[in-house]
Amino acid sequence: MPSDIARRAVIHCFGGPEVIEIEDVVLPPPGQGEVRMRSTAIGLNFIDAYHRSGLYPIELPSGLGVEAAGVVEAVGEGVSDFAAGDRVCTFGPQRGAYATARNIAASALLKTPESISDELAAAALLKGCTVEFLVERCAQVQPGEHVLVHAAAGGVGLMLVQWLKAVGAHVIGTVSTEEKAALARQAGADHVVLYGNEEVAPKVRDLTGGKGVRVSFDGVGKDTWAASLDSVARRGLIVSYGNASGPVTGVALGQLAVKGSLFVTRPGLYDYYRNSAERAAGSARMFEMLDKDAISVSIGQRYPLSNIVQAHTDLEARKTVGSTILLP
């Protein structure tokens, strides 16, 4: 395929995985402040499904995907930080990562460290930076604190468990199967609760001497909201960062007082990576954690880009473990 022809995934309406279409496009030369990036590995994330379904409204038609790694093929006017041949990666916020190549703002790119493979960058960057800000800047977890991680065997969940253990926290994870429980334990979880076999909150209270956890990291949403409310200690924090089971709605603020003057936040990645300084510092911290093996990334699935509908179907059915990448 000529270098000015790219294949990409697009949506023209909101809906299930079946609304995703693959099309070929002719790429113009990169414009002012842009580079032409050829993708070698693409990350699959729940935010992509939120964009596709309309849970997070976007303008249509639209490309999908925010995370990818690859190589710079050409640079536009005004670009001085990158050159053809540079290995780069991105975690958005610009969409369109589901593509063999695209023009992208240079400001959205990071240089991929020599020690990090393209597949690892595509599997780790968005999730790793998400975990960095959740643990270190949002919840500010301290050594010795008890924390709860819902969906502890998912892509973000496994990284959360590892990062939290690296900073000295006591980690309780929730999972759906024995297989996923084993993965969470391997990542370092001190205790794992199979939510289909026992009630989460009573078990968490039992494991913490009745006090509850200081922080609940909840990427599941609707199905785990009540368990988070009942698991968090007095003046504790619920970090609701995802909607895998659907969004949390109809929150009664009075419950927060009844449950112990709780705090709740619904943080967004790009509010914590708002400028170049935050992006540089946060991503450097994440790559440092990878380099010293404080966190590792398990790539549980690889799909060809052409099989993107199946990839989204499996993701939403919770059939995936660890991180998932698409291969152009």
Q: What is the pLDDT of residues 172-205, one digit of tens each?
A: 999 999 999 999 999 999 999 999 889 999 999 9
Residue 133's pLDDT is 98
What SS3 class is residue 117?
Answer: coil
> 322 in a domain, yes or no?
yes
Confirm whether 136 is domain-assigned.
no
Residue 134 lies in a domain: no
CA-based R_g, the chain, Å: 20
Domain containing 189 — which CATH number? 3.40.50.720
Look up residue 10 and give its two tokens: 């697009």
Q: What per-residue confidence (pLDDT) applies to 321? A: 80
Q: Within a domain: residue 281?
A: no
Q: What percent of the chain has pLDDT over 70?
A: 99
| Average pLDDT of the residues in 280-300 | 91
Does residue 304 share a domain with residue 256? no
Closest among 80, 88, 62 to 9, alpha carbons compared:
62
Best CA proximity match to 222, nearest among 194, 197, 201, 250 = 250
Spatial distance between the Cα atoms of 22 and 64, rounded to a whole number of angstroms? 11
**Residue 229 is assigned to a structural domain of this protein:** yes
Residue 276 lies in a domain: no
Residue 326 neighbours by CB under 8 Å, 6+ apart:
41, 42, 43, 44, 65, 98, 302, 303, 304, 305, 308, 311
Question: Same domain, yes or no, for 248 and 307?
Answer: no
How confident is the model over 60-74, as pLDDT tens digits?
999 999 999 999 999
Alpha carbons within 13 angstroms on the beta-carbon side of residue 23 total 14
Token pair for 212: 């509850």
Same-domain check for residues 200 and 247:
yes
Banded pLDDT at 145 (limits 50, 70, 90): very high
pLDDT digits (tens, 9 = 90+) for 8-45: 999 999 999 999 999 999 999 999 999 999 999 999 99
Range of the domain at 211: 143-266
Q: Where are the beta strands (DSSP E) in 253-298?
A: 263-265
Q: Supply the pLDDT for residue 3.
A: 65
